[in-house]
Amino acid sequence: MDLTQNRIFGVAALVFSQCELNPLQVSTLSVGTRAQVFPGDKSFSDDRYVITVFYRFSTSSPQRNKMKVLLVGLATLALAHAGSYSILDVENIINTVNNADASWTAGHNFHPGTPLHYFKRLMGVKKVANGPALPQVSYSGIDLPETFDARKQWPKCPTISHVLDQGDCGSCWAVGGASAFADRYCIASNGTFKAPLSAEQLLSCCSACGSGCDGGEPDQAWQYFVSTGLVTGGDYHSGRGCQPYALESCEHHVKGPLPNCSKLPTPDTPSCESKCTNKKYKIPFKKDHKKAKTAYTLSSVKAAQEDILKYGSIEAAFTVYADFLAYKSGVYHHVTGDELGGHAVRVLGWGTENGTPYWLVANSWNKAWGDKGLFKIRRGTDECGFEDDLVAGRI
């Protein structure tokens, strides 16, 4: 039984008490999805979440009235929690995409029955009204290649090829930003600096960025790189750097060796630490910081291409729709499904596939998702708002 069900049963017990009902008068109380409800049950639902009560009345009218109060109370509670138990019809999404004239292929990426609230929690881009807007950088007019892949251009920088895992936390804005910053720092050092930079510090310490696991803004993250900088820090349990990521890696997907993300307790944002949390790391916290010189947004598609070509990965934010969760290969564009929220990712390059221009992008749901953790999305059409908020900085 999960937390939401426990809450409902707890409130049910309270209603029993307030109505002075004997619990023996209710033979069964069950909570679940519509698929679990049998014909003839007394149930209340909004097509997504159902609470069912099997009961028997005594002959007295007062008891009947009290039972009505119980049913109304439980029905209200069920509807209040409806969104947390919505389940995406992934099969329908996959079939719709694969039977459409789409430039991409859909498939299973997540465990069946993963609740909608889990997916929405991963969408961590939130607009915050802190500080001045970043300056814009425009395209200079240089020639741009037809294809570009930062992984191939700078093979001495291992962070570029590394796919991260944000875990069960809306930290995409921090993970995407810190990883792009690390890529650029390595590139600027001509490959001599190879360490990852700490998404953990950014997530927990940048109060101007937003609300940690409840979301943040990439623009503010890049301003933080200029004003404060980041210490080093690798993946969860990696033992790398000053402040490694503290949130547990987990399987967002159908199968894998890690625990199922949606079954783990919802994590809190880690507390901000002004010391190295990795006790084996030898460089002092204050001396470990790496800073950016500038932070800016990119005014156009070509401006973004030029910046990637010269300096490396950038961070992008876009609107995620339900079908994106099922991406497997090809060039993504929205086909079906509702909006889930804003998501931040790291852009590595661009190209053209079967005549469709695309951005090459690293996601932060580990390598089991999508195309080994990567995806392609249409370039030049502002697909899902992808080209509205492209941000980076100079080292």
CATH code, residues 90-394: 3.90.70.10
Q: 137, exposed or middle or buried, with CB in 10 Å at 0-12, 13-18, 19+?
A: buried
Of residues 368 and 317, more confidence is placed in 317
Q: Dump pLDDT digits (tens) for 175-226.
A: 999 999 999 999 999 999 999 999 999 999 999 998 999 999 999 999 999 9
Q: What is the pLDDT of residue 51?
A: 40
Q: Dump pLDDT digits (tens) for 271-306.
A: 999 999 999 999 999 999 999 999 999 999 999 999
| pLDDT mean over 382-389 | 96
What is the spatial distance between Cα 270 and Cα 213, in angstroms, rounded to a whole number? 9
Q: Which residues contact 98 (CB under 8 A, 6 or more apart)?
A: 105, 106
Q: Dump pLDDT digits (tens) for 2-27.
A: 444 444 444 444 444 444 444 444 43
- Pairing state of beta strands 136-137 and 294-298? parallel
User: Which residues have a catalytic role annotated?
Assistant: 172, 343, 363
Q: What is the pLDDT of residue 208?
A: 92
Of residues 258 and 113, more confidence is placed in 113
Tell me the whole-structure pTM to 2 decimals.
0.78
Q: Is the pLDDT of residue 49 over 60?
A: no
CATH 3.90.70.10, the chain: domain bounds: 90-394
Q: Is the pLDDT of residue 160 over 70?
A: yes
Q: Which residue has the tokens 């000053």?
A: 242
Q: Which residues contact 129 (CB under 8 A, 6 or more apart)?
A: none
E strands, the chain, in order: 26-32, 42-45, 50-55, 104-106, 136-137, 148-149, 294-298, 314-321, 327-332, 339-353, 356-362, 374-378, 390-394
Select from 338, 342, 336, 335 the least CA-distant residue to 318: 342
The residue type of 110 is F
Q: How confident is the model at residue 30 (pLDDT cuts 50, 70, 90)?
A: very low
Q: What is the pLDDT of residue 143?
A: 97
Q: Is the pLDDT of residue 332 over 60?
A: yes
Select from 369, 259, 390 the least CA-distant residue to 316: 390
Q: Are 303 and 389 in contact (CB under 8 A)?
A: no
Q: Dump pLDDT digits (tens) for 109-134.
A: 987 778 888 899 999 998 766 666 89
